[in-house]
């Protein structure tokens, strides 16, 4: 975990007031309270993403919550899929895993990947 001062030094292009605003908007949720915030690695990555979306890609502030929500949903689904994969790897017999992999990699007639 790093302090607010260390964060501003470590991540080029971050503005202190802007980061405070992003925290107020709940786009980033560091530990602690104003003046004693501590940022985890995931917070730093999210701040880099927000800075890139706002400054490099020019996303408007009113669009950012939607984009962040979609990204959060995507990462949530990826976590669920990894858990499912781990469960299948642990519990399913080898031949069943092969059948599942084959079914997941095949395409239907309409080509959209639905099984």
The yes-or-no verdict on residue 110 having pLDDT over 80 is no
- What pLDDT does residue 99 have? 87
Q: What is the mean pLDDT of residues 87-112?
A: 77
The yes-or-no verdict on residue 103 having pLDDT over 90 is no
- What pLDDT does residue 107 have? 55
Q: What is the pLDDT of residues 51-72, one digit of tens each?
A: 999 999 999 999 999 999 999 9
Alpha helix positions (H), 36-106: 41-51, 64-91, 94-105
What CATH code would you report for 1-59?
Answer: 1.10.1660.10
Which H/E stretch holds residue 93? none
- What pLDDT does residue 115 have? 45
The yes-or-no verdict on residue 43 having pLDDT over 80 is yes
pTM: 0.74
What is the percent of the chain with per-residue pLDDT over 90, rounded to a whole number?
A: 70
Q: Is 53 helix (H, G, I), strand (E, B) or coil?
A: helix
- What pLDDT does residue 101 have? 81
């Amino acid at each position: 975990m790093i302090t607010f001062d260390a964060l501003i030094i470590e991540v080029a292009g971050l503005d202190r007031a802007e980061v405070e605003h992003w925290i107020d908007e709940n786009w980033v949720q560091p530990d602690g309270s104003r003046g004693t915030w501590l940022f985890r690695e995931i917070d730093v990555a999210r701040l880099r993403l927000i800075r890139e979306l706002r400054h490099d890609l020019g996303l408007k502030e009113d669009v950012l919550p939607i984009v962040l929500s979609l990204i959060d949903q995507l990462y949530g689904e990826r976590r669920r899929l990894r858990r499912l994969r781990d469960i299948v790897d642990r519990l399913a017999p080898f031949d069943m895993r092969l059948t599942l992999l084959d079914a997941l990699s095949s395409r239907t007639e309409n080509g959209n990947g639905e099984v």
